[in-house]
Structure 1
Amino acid sequence: MARGWQRDQIRQHIFLGAVIVGLAALTPQAIAQSTVGPESGSEVSATLTLSAGSLGDALFAITNTFGVNIIADERLIEGRQAPALEGVPSADEALERVLEGTGLRASQSTSGAVLIEEDVSAEATSADETSAVDTASDIVESVPVTVVGSKTGATRQEFGASVGYLGAERIRNETISDVEDVFDRTANASTGSSISGAYSIRGVNTDGVAGGLNRSNALASILVNQVALGVSSSSYVKPTLFDAASAEVLRGPQSSLQGPNALIGSVYINYNRPDFNGYAGSLRAEAGELDTLRFGLMQNVVLAEDTLAARLALETRQSDGDVDNPTTGSDDVRREDEETVRLALRWQPHGNEDLVVDLTYQHNESDTAASAFVLPSADGGDLFDREQPYDVDEAFPSDFDLISLETQWQMNDRWRLTSVTGASEFSLESLFDGDLSAFDLLVVNSFIKEELFSQEFRLNYEGERISALAGIFYSDGDYTSGFSGTGVFPDGMGGVAPFNRVTNQKENIEQQAVFGQLSWRPVYDWELTVGARFNHEERDTDDFADNNGAISDLSASESFDQFIPSFTIAHDLNDATRIGASYSRGFQAGGTAFAVFQAQATPYDEEFIDNYELFLRYQSLDGRLVVNGNLFYFDWSDQQVTTTLPGGVPGFDNAVVNAGKSEVTGAELELEWRATERVSLFTSVGIVDSEFKTFVVNGVDLAGRSLPQSPDLTATLGGRYASERGLFAAATFSYTDDSYSRIEAPEVTRTRERNLLSGRLGYQRDGWQAYVWGTNLLDDEYELFLQDGSAFGVPGSGAYGSVGATRTLGVGVQLDW
C-alpha cells in the first residue's frame, strides 16, 4: 500500500515538473522570435549558383549547399518554378529569392528545421499555378528526413542506426492502412501473430524465441507520438496510418536511448500535428470485397492565429474477412472492426514558434479477430480452405486510450529542452475455444489490462563541433492478466483430462533511468558519438492459480540495474557520402517464472545483445538518389530459456534459465530514386543468418538451428507515376522467405514464402482523387504463424494457425481541402 502511495506521489511530482518546464519556457528570452537559417554561431562560407528550374530542385540545392534542414509538403512545391541564382551567400537570402512570388514562405520549427508553408498573407497564385499544384505528383519525400527516434534531430543520412522509413506521401499514395503494412514494406521486418509475437525485426520475434511468459516483457516496442505502448497493446492494437506524418522502423538495439523493450528495435508512428496554415482537411472512403468499408476524416482548425490549433482525425475500418466457421455458420471469423478517434492540440504561447506544446489524445475500440486460426478438415482439406470449425465464435473486444503531452522549448540557437509525458490504458476480454474442435469440450475466457505512465525530459545542445543529449526517464506500469476455463483438455497421450483452472497475475514495474549522448567532430569530416544509459528497475509480481482445486498463490519481488553503452564513428567521404561503424548493447528485462502445480517462483536475469554494425549513407547532391546500407552482427548472450521443472507439468510448471546463446548476421540495403518529377522508384533487401549456438529446451539441443520466425530474405520493389493529365499508378511488391514458427515443432510449423503485390490506379484533379485498389493481387497462399495441434487431433501434419488474406479489390475516393 505504501509503495502504491509513493508511486502516485512520484507521478504527481513528475507531471508537475513537466508543467514547470512549460511555464519556465515562458520567460522573455523564450518568447524572443528566432530567425530562419543556420546557427548564428556557425560559419558558412559557401555560396550558391543555380540555374532556373523547379522549386523542388532549388530547395534540394539550398539544403546541400548550406546544410539547413528543409521540410516541405510536395503538394506545395510540385509544379512551381524557381529563378536562377548566382553567388548567393546565405540560406536566408536563397530561400527568400526562390520563394518570391510563389505564395509560400519559410519559417523555423522548434527542432531548427526550415518549414515551407503557404503564406496566407500573400495574394493567391494564378489559376494555372493552382491547377499545377492540385495535380502534382505528390511523389517526393521531404529531404532531409529527420528521425524522431534519434531524439537529437538527426537526419536519416546522419543517423548510424538502420532505419526503415515511410513518409507521408508513400503512406498517402500506397495501400497502407496500419502498422502491419509498414512491416510488409520494410527490409528485415515481417508480421506474425498477435498471440505469439506480432512482428519480427532482423530475424528475432518480439515475443522471443520461445514465447513470452509474462505480459510485461517484449524485445521491441511501438511508440505513438513518442510514447511507448505496452507489450499487449503493441501486439493487439494495430495503429492506423491515416493522417500519419511518418513511420520509422529502427532496426537493432535501441536500449541506450529507448530503454526497456528495445532489444531488437523500436517502431515509431508519428502523426501529423495541428498547424496554423488554415482549415485544411481530407476525407477518404473505400469499399471492397469481403464487405470491406474504410472511412477516414481529418480536419485542421486554427483556434487562435499563430497560437492555438486543433486537428481531429476519425477512422473506421471494417471487413468480414475470408475465414468461415462451418459449425456456427459465421462468415466473419477473420473480421476487422476498428474505430479510432484522435484529437490533437498545438499551443504556441504568444505565437512563439520556439515554444510548442502538443497534446494528443487517441481512443481505439476494436472487435478485430486477433488470431482467426484455421484448421484442415478431416476429409483431406487444407488450411487454405479457410475454415475454423470451433463450436463457439471467438471474440477479442478491446479498448485503448493514449495521452501524449510533448513540450519543446528552443531556448536559443544551441539549447533545446523537451518533455514527453505519456499515459495509456489497454483492456482486452477474449473468448476462445480451448479444444480446437466442433465439440463443446472447453471454452476459455481471458483478460488483459495494462496501465502505463511515463515521463522523459531531454536537454539537447548543438554546437559547431560538439552536440550533446542528456535525459532522465521514469515509468510505472501495472500489468494484469488471467483466464478461466472448465472442461476437458488433451492430455498429450491421445486422451483427455479434466480442466478446471483460474489464473490471475498482477505485476508492477517501476523504472528510473538517466541517459546521454555526446557527439564530437575533431575535424569537419569525422564524427565520434558515445552514449550510455543507466537503468534501474523494480518488479513486484503476484501470481494466483486454481488448478482443479490445487491453489497456488505466489509473489516475488526483483530489482535489476543495467548499464547500456553505445559508440559510433562516422566519416564523410564527401558531401554526398557517409560511412561509419557502431557498437550498441541491448537488454531484455528479467523477471520471475511461476510453477503453478509445484508452487515455486523462480527468478531469472536479463538477456543481452552486443551489436556491431558498418553503415553507408549516400544521397546525391541533387537529392534525387538515396542509398542506405547496414551490415550487422550481434551476439545474443544469457538468453532466457524456458524449461519444465523436474516432475512438473509441461506448460504449467515452467522455469526460465539464462542458458542460451545465439548469433545473427545480416544486412539491409535500401534505395530510393526520384527518376523524374513524376516518377519515383524504391527497393530494399534484407538478409539474415540466425543460429542457435547453445540452446537446450527440455533436453533437446537446438544448436545449429535458425531462430523461429526468422526469414533469411526479405525484399521490396515499387514505385509511383503521376501524369500531367491526372492519371496516377502506384504498386509495391514484397517478398518474405519461408521460416518456422515454434521451436518445439520446426517442420510441422514451417511457413512458406510470401509474394505480395498491392497497388492503386486512379485519377486526381483539383483536390480530389478516385482510384481502384488491390491487395495480394497475385492471390498468393501463405501462412503467417503455425502451431502443432497433433495433441488435439488436428488432421494431416497437425499444423494449424493463421494464413495470409486472399486477394481483395476495391474502389476509393479522397477529397482534400
Structure 2
Amino acid sequence: MIFNRLIYSVTLAGSVSILSINAAMAQDVAFDLGTLVLYGDRTTGQAEKTNSSVAIVTAAELADPTISNYRDAFRHMANVQAGDFVESGFVLRGINSEGQTPGGLGTPLAAYYIDGVQQTVEGTRRGINGVFDAEQIEVFRGPQSTLSGRSALAGAIHLRTKDPEFARSGKVELGYGSDNKKSVGLAFGDTLAPNLAYRISGEYYSKDNDLNYPSYTRFDRYDDITSDEQYTLRGKLLWQATDQTDVLFSYSHSYGNPAPNDIAGPYWSTASTGYGAQRGDIWGNILPDFYTALIPEFPGFQDVRNTKVDNFGIEVTHHVNDNLTFTAQTGYSSSLTERYSINEGTAGEFLTVAGEFDQELLTQEFRLNYEAEGLRWVGGFYIGKEEQTSFRDATLPSFTTYLPENQYSENTGDMLNIAAFGEVAYEFAPSWTVIAGGRLDYFDQDQTASLVTDGVPTSNSESSFSDTVFVPKVGIEYELANSNKIALIYQEGYRPGGSGILAATGAAFEYDAEKAKNLELSYRGRGLDDKLGFAASVFYQDWDSQQVEVGSYPNNYITNAGKSKSYGAELELSYAATDIVDLYGSVGLLHTEFKSFEANGIDYSGQSFPGAPEASISLGYYAGEATGWFSTGSIQYTGSSLSRLEGGVAQPVKLDNYTTVDLSVGYAWEKSKLTAYVTNAFDTDYFTYENGPGVLATQGEGREIGLVYGFTF
C-alpha cells in the first residue's frame, strides 16, 4: 500500500502511530512509510527516532476542508485543545500555552513556531493560523525545556510550510460556506538558477459572525466585530550553496481579526433574554442594572482587536560528514496588536479606549547533531531577546467615583535568555538505550508599569528578575524483539517570575518562578501484519509555585500556587481495515489539581486547573481511492472542565462535556478535487468559557457547511 494522506503520532520514545490514512493503496508495497521528517526536534530529523511525545499531521490531511486552521487539527489528538476564547492560546495536557496567566507581559508556557521562527504571544493568538500550503504540524506534549528553552514547559507546536522545490509546481484552492465564509489560496514555486529555488503563497479567509449586535450597528467599527478576517502572504527562498550546505530564507506577513464569540446569559442583566438570543453586544443596551443606573450603554468596555505579524527566518544546514550536521537558525517575529473599543472613532463618542501591544522576539541558535549506530547526540547554544510594550488610553467612568476619568497605562518588558543545551542517547547494551541531557539557562528580565489618571501620575513601578538554572532530562528505552519500544523518561521545566500592576489601583505585585517535574512511561509499536499502529503513554507532572491569574479586571493579578499536580494517559490507534477503508482513534484521560493554593481568602486546593478537560476521545475514518469518490468522517468528544478562576468565586463554573461530528464527501481527478463538507454536523451547542453560571459565556463554533475546490500542478 502507498499512502498519500497520513496523520502520524509519535510517542515519547519515538514510534510513529498513524491516526489517519487517507489514500489509494497498491498491494505490492504494503505499508512503506518511508522516512517521516521531523522539524521541531533538536535531537533528530527522523520521527521514528525522537524521544518526545509528539503528534504529527501531514500536508494531505491538512488539505481536508474540515481543517481550516492549525487549531482544527487538535480535534484528532489526545489531550490537545484550542483555548477557551480569542484572547487565549492552546491547551496541552490541560495547560494553556499562556499558562494560568493569559496574555500580559512575560513568558508563555508553550511556544508556537512557524518555519522555525518562534511567535510572540499575540502572534500565536492572531497571527498565521491557516494551513494552506502547509507541509506539517507537530504538536509536542509535555515539557520540552531541556532542548526548546524557557517557553516550552508545557510543550510546543511547530508549523512547517512547504519548502521550495527545484521544479515548477503550484496549487489553487477556492472555498465557500455557511455565514458567507470565503477562502482562497494561491501558491507557486519554481527555480531561479540550478542552485536557487523559490515558493510564494497567499491565503485569504473571511466569515460572518453569527451572533447579534443590534446596539452596535451605529458604530464605525461595527464590521470589525461582526466578521472574521485573516490573510497571509509568504515567500521562501532555498539556496544550495554547496553540496553539503543549504540556506533557507523565509518571510511572511499576516493579518488577523477574529471576531469574539461572547454572549450574554439570563443573569447578565434583567434586560437579557438569555443565551438563546445570542446577544454579543454585552456592553450595549443589555447592561447589568448596576451600570444602567449610571449610563444606558457602556460600549467603551467592548474590545475590537487586530494583529499584524511579520516573520523572518534564516536556516543554515551544513552536513560536515555522514554523521555530523551543523545547523544555525535565526528567527525574528514582530507582532502589533491594535485594541480599540467598538465606539472609538465614531463621532460624538467620548467614553472610549485605544491601545496597542507591540512585541518583538529575536532568536539565534547554533547546534551540532551527531548520529551513528548506537549513538546519537546534540549540543547547542541559544540566545533570545524579547521586547514588549503596551499602552491603554481610556476615558471611562472611575471604579470609585463612577465619574468619567482618563487613565493612561503603559507596560514594558525586556527579556534576555542565554542557554547551552545538549542530549545524548547511547545504546549501552543490545536493545537498551540510555538518554541523558540538560539545559543551562540564564534569564534576565526587566519590567516597568505606570499609570496616569487625569494627567496625574498615580503609580510607577520597576522590577527586575534574573536567574541561572539547570534543567535536567534522563531516561531509558528498551526495544522488544518485535521492534516495539518501551521508554521511561524524567525531565523538568522552568518559567521565570515577574511583576505587574493592578489596573484598578496601580498597586504593584510580583510572582515567583514556576517549576515542573514530569515522569512519563510510553509503549508503542505495530501489529496485525503492520495494519495496526498504536501509541500509549502515561505521565505524572508535579508543579511547584505554579503561576496563576486570579480575580477579574481591573482587579486581576498573578500569584503563585504552592503545589499542583497533573497526570493522565494517552492512547492513539490506527487500523487499515481494507484496501480502501482506514480507521483511527485517540483517547486522552487527564486529572489536574491544585494541591495547595489560596488567594484572596479563597482556598482553591483540590480544584482542577481551568480549561483542563477530563477526557478527549476521537474516532474517524477515510474511505476512497486516489481518484474517484471518497469520504471522511470523525466524531470528537470533549469532557467536562472548570472555567476560569475569577471574580472572587470559590467554585468556578463547570463546563459540560460535548460531542461534535465532521463529515466530507468528494470526487478526485488526477490533479483536482471537489469536496463538500460539514463541521459540527448536528450543530451541537457548547461553551468553552462561562462566568456565573448563566452570566456570560463563550460559545463554541456552530455548524458549517461548504464546498472546496482544489487544483494542483
TM-score tier (shorter): 0.7 to 0.9
Structure 1: how far apart are the matches of 2:487 and 2:321? 31
Deviation at residue 621 of structure 1 after TM alignment: 8.6
**How many matched pairs?**
671
- Counterpart of 1:542? 448
Once the two structures are aligned, what percentage of the paired residues are identical? 27
- Counterpart of 1:273? 163
- Counterpart of 1:202? 93
Deviation at residue 655 of structure 1 after TM alignment: 6.3
Q: How does 1:483-502 map to 2 (within 5 A)?
A: 483-488=392-397, 496=402, 498-502=404-408
Cα-to-partner distance string for 1:737-781 (whole Å, 9 max, x where unaligned)? 121222234756432223121222110112111111111111000
* Equivalent position SS for 1:719: strand
Structure 2: how far apart are the matches of 1:659 and 1:82? 58
Q: 1:477 aligns with which of 386, 392, 411?
A: 386
Q: Which moved more, 1:171-180 or 1:245-254?
A: 171-180
* Equivalent position SS for 1:150: coil
Cα-to-partner distance string for 1:310-362 (whole Å, 9 max, x where unaligned)? 11111100111211201134587352101111111111125x2x321111111
Deviation at residue 215 of structure 1 after TM alignment: 2.5
Deviation at residue 590 of structure 1 after TM alignment: 1.0
Counterpart contact for 1:141–1:167, Cα < 8 Å:
no
Name structure 2 gaps, 5 residues minimum. Answer: 5-13, 285-298
Q: How does 1:564-713 map to 2 (within 5 A)?
A: 564-594=471-501, 601-620=508-527, 623-641=530-548, 656-713=558-615
- Counterpart of 1:466? 375
Shift of the 785–655 alpha-carbon distance from structure 1 to 2, 3 Å rule, reads closer
Instruction: Say yes or no: does 1:325 pair with 2:213.
Output: yes
Shift of the 525–502 alpha-carbon distance from structure 1 to 2, 3 Å rule, reads same
Q: How does 1:272-351 map to 2 (within 5 A)?
A: 272-276=162-166, 278-305=167-194, 307-329=195-217, 333-350=225-242
TM-score, length-normalised on structure 1?
0.77
Q: 1:733 aligns with which of 607, 615, 635?
A: 635
Amino acid at match of 2:701: A
Shift of the 335–158 alpha-carbon distance from structure 1 to 2, 3 Å rule, reads same
Amino acid at match of 1:681: L
Cα-to-partner distance string for 1:9-59 (whole Å, 9 max, x where unaligned)? xxxxxxxxxxxxxxxxxxxxxxxxxxxxxxxxxxxxxxxxxxxxx5679xx
Structure 2: how far apart are the matches of 1:174 and 1:574? 41
Name structure 1 gaps, 5 residues minimum. Answer: 1-53, 58-66, 85-139, 645-649, 789-796
Structure 1: how far apart are the matches of 2:326 and 2:366? 7
- Counterpart of 1:130? none
* Equivalent position SS for 1:181: helix
Instruction: Say yes or no: does 1:247 pair with 2:137.
Output: yes
Q: How does 1:65-84 map to 2 (within 5 A)?
A: none
Q: How does 1:151-170 map to 2 (within 5 A)?
A: 151-153=42-44, 155-170=46-61
* Equivalent position SS for 1:576: coil
- Counterpart of 1:172? 63
Structure 2: how far apart are the matches of 1:56 and 1:178? 23
Shift of the 475–626 alpha-carbon distance from structure 1 to 2, 3 Å rule, reads same
Cα-to-partner distance string for 1:170-189 (whole Å, 9 max, x where unaligned)? 11235111121022322111
Counterpart contact for 1:431–1:446, Cα < 8 Å:
yes
* Equivalent position SS for 1:233: helix
Q: Rg: which structure is higher?
A: 1
Amino acid at match of 2:461: L
Deviation at residue 292 of structure 1 after TM alignment: 0.4
The alignment's C-alpha RMSD in Å is 3.0
Shift of the 156–385 alpha-carbon distance from structure 1 to 2, 3 Å rule, reads farther
Cα-to-partner distance string for 1:617-648 (whole Å, 9 max, x where unaligned)? 2134965432111100010012235579xxxx
Counterpart contact for 1:756–1:778, Cα < 8 Å:
yes
Counterpart contact for 1:180–1:191, Cα < 8 Å:
yes
- Counterpart of 1:31? none
Cα-to-partner distance string for 1:184-235 (whole Å, 9 max, x where unaligned)? 32211112245553221111222333x3473222111111112211122112
Instruction: Say yes or no: does 1:216 pair with 2:122.
Output: no
Shift of the 799–595 alpha-carbon distance from structure 1 to 2, 3 Å rule, reads closer
Amino acid at match of 1:283: V
* Equivalent position SS for 1:256: helix
Shift of the 334–668 alpha-carbon distance from structure 1 to 2, 3 Å rule, reads farther
- Counterpart of 1:115? none
- Counterpart of 1:508? 414
Shift of the 477–193 alpha-carbon distance from structure 1 to 2, 3 Å rule, reads same
Q: How does 1:41-190 map to 2 (within 5 A)?
A: 142-153=33-44, 155-190=46-81
Structure 2: how far apart are the matches of 1:434 and 1:706? 38
- Counterpart of 1:765? 669
- Counterpart of 1:750? 654
- Counterpart of 1:811? 707
Instruction: Say yes or no: does 1:231 pair with 2:121.
Output: yes
Deviation at residue 732 of structure 1 after TM alignment: 2.0
Shift of the 471–298 alpha-carbon distance from structure 1 to 2, 3 Å rule, reads same
Shift of the 670–81 alpha-carbon distance from structure 1 to 2, 3 Å rule, reads closer
Deviation at residue 384 of structure 1 after TM alignment: 4.0
Structure 2: how far apart are the matches of 1:751 and 1:56? 39
Shift of the 208–445 alpha-carbon distance from structure 1 to 2, 3 Å rule, reads same
